[in-house]
Every structure is written in C-alpha cells, then in structure tokens.
Structure 1
C-alpha cells in the first residue's frame, strides 16, 4: 500500500507503467481528484486497474489524496471476483460497499490508520471468497520469482496439467496467458533497471532479452514509449519511494516516504 498526497493545484498528466499486479486506487480527495484514461475509457473516483490495462494516464487539477493498493492477481481474483484487463470503477465491483469503504478511509486521521482499515476491509472480503486454482497460483508465483525467465511448458509439467489446460485456466482466472504474464514480469524488471540508470544494452542482457532491439520492442508494446522515456517515467521514480526494497506497505506524503 502507498498513500499519495499532492497539494499542487495543477497535478498534470502522468503515464502509468504496467506492473505485475492488480492496482486499486481509492479516491480520498475533497475535489474531483484523479481521472484515469485507458484506451479511450475515462473513469473518476475509486478504480481498479487489472493486469495489462493498456496505456494508462492519470491526470488531475486539484489537491489529490488517494490510497493505492497493489494486489497479487491471485488475491485480487478473490477480492474483486474478477481480474480485469482494463479500468473498472470500484463501485461496479463492490456496489454500495465501495462507498462504505471510502467513508471509513476518509474518516481515518492518519495514513497508518487508513492502512489498517484497508487491510481489515480487504481481509474480510478475502475470507469469504475462493481464490484461483492452486495450480494457477503456483505457475504465477514461479513465474514471478523467476522474473519471467521460465519455460511455460515446464510449469505445466510441474502442476501435472497439459499446456492447453494451463493456458485455458490461467487466462480465465487471471485474464492473461502464462506467456504474457512472463513477458510482463520480465518487462517490469527491465523497466526498473532502466529507471535506476542502467544502460539499455545491459538491461536487455540482465532481463533475458535476446538483444537491445528485443527490449525496445517489448517496452514499446507495453507502454508506447521508448526505453529512454520509460527510464524517466515519474511513476517508476515514485515506486522506489513508495515501495522501497521488498516492503509491502509504504507511505508517500508530499514526495517523502515514511517508515
């Protein structure tokens, strides 16, 4: 989790980079807050962004307060009942519970209290719903641990399924194929190396790409940007502040992180 506060009256326009998680943005602003645009779909308020939603931009012109929660897709499938590849209003998934959640979070007096309230809300929903098949969960986590550098056919053998069955179950439950999931995780690793200042050639080699051209094609496909532009993406810079190291929760207030 990360809490974001932007006091400037002109927040501007930020391109959001694809990430191997389902992201929940809970709007806590007094004004209109952020507007999210995905492939021509525009949403305001609290939204859920699924895996590979396409090119996402967030824009705002008022003081912004929002809570971002990244969920492993396996967990998100249970919490939301669906893993979507686009932007969906939280109200469409949770109904009136979405408004109740926002009210509780707005009433909290600190970010730590908001984190605790959010954990309680998500935990309650998770405890009453089933998640994905254990085999699908295993394949996702093995792929994640390898940063996308794993043979999908080998994973099918590990869980005792045929490649066709794995493809079908994985896609129906998580919204993408195992191969596409591996590409996303490899891209995510490469994007953060680029943001850390590493040269594209070195990033391609360390991330498992055939060559620099291969890296360029994947980055372009995921973001519509060049590797150079991705390296300068504000959202990746925020990542290292809001989620330092392997921390699962963080807080970003006025550009500064707090333990």
Structure 2
C-alpha cells in the first residue's frame, strides 16, 4: 500500500508538471518554430491522457474513501478474511498523502469505531511498522481501561456481555470460540473469546492516544501488546464491506451475502 501511494503521488505530480511545462514553454516554442506542423511529444500526449485519471484517483483515495482487504482473523466475527472494505478518509480530518499529516481537522474517533491506522510497531525494528492495521477503538482520551479474564472494565464500570453460544467458524478460523455481544458504550458489537484469555492489563488513555483491540480477543495483535495508538497514525474509519473473496480469482470462496454490508 505504501509503495502504491508513493507511485500514485509521484506519477500524478510528474504528469502534471510535464503538462504545465509544456503549456508555459514548450508548446509556445513549437508554435514559433513550426506552427501546426510539429506533433506533440509522446510524453506530453501520455501525460495529457493519464493526468486527469491519476488526479481523480489520488483525490478520492486520499480524501474520500480508500479500499482495504482484511488479511487476518483478528476482527472476526465482524470482519472476515477476504472482506474488501471501504474506509472513510475524512471522518477524522483531511490528511496529506504520504505524510498522513492532518491539515483540516474534522472529527475524532469515538469509542466503538473500527479504524484503519499505520501500525506503530512493537519496536523500531518491527518489520510490520507502518503497515495498515485495522482494530476497534475501546478507549478514548481520558478513559481508564482494564482487561482481565476476557472482560473489559471502562472507567470503573464493568462492560456487560451477553452469551450467544459457540461460534461456528469461518473457513477454518474461530471454530469453537464463544460468541458474545459486548455492550461497549457507544457501540454494541460481537466479540469472540476462548478459554485462554490474552493481553491482560490496565491503561490510562492520554490526550492524542487511543486504545484499540481486535474483536477476536484472544487472536489479535493490538494495543494490549504494543501500547496506545497515536492519533497521527490514523488513516480512517471503516464503514462498508463491498466484496468478500479469498484466494486468486476467489478460488477459496466468494460470499455475495457480504456485499454492501455495513461494518458493525
């Protein structure tokens, strides 16, 4: 994703600069020398054809909505492996491509939001540092959060759970886990838990930070293990599943019922 974003920005800028230079200098020079007989250079012709397309893709992807694919089971049962989702890029402010710097603040994550972010990493040598991750916000600035025995306590109040039985699993993942409804203030949603709870601890969430966790609580590399998420790492808010397809040409499965589903 980072390479694609870099190439998109680079190609858009390059084609735009070529067109600008041609308009301001080279086109006039050709006209003075040979009038209408000189043909337009191929690089200018290609730039004229591709610049509008590149610019539109860059604007939409950077400031409106961006697609992502779910690669792991950490957000089951709500997001499945093979889900293609759309992420609202302006929910938490307009951000510059590549640097991810906010230049127009528009909002902040709410408790229960499913967010995409640049992974801060367990340490500076973490090979996944900077990659796109997706988790749920369970703690916002000012919150006191505790997680013990697969149960959340928020600002001193235990979060309520409703047992929904045993999860059937999906394509070999999650079978036998307990399916629960978690009444997180802000958004009620489902979670999975096993008999082996992971990531116990307590956190105080300061300004500019968030505690994020996966819905598949015992199979998620999240803020319980690498710490609080900085606001500047946010990429956007997940809001729509537009496809579910696993494997090349969907050879491992295609689920039309997932198309158009909202992210819960």
**TM-score (normalised: structure 1):** 0.20
Structure with the higher fraction of residues in helix conformation = 1
Structure with the higher fraction of residues in strand conformation = 2
Which one scores higher on RCO, CA 8 angstroms, separation ≥ 6? 1
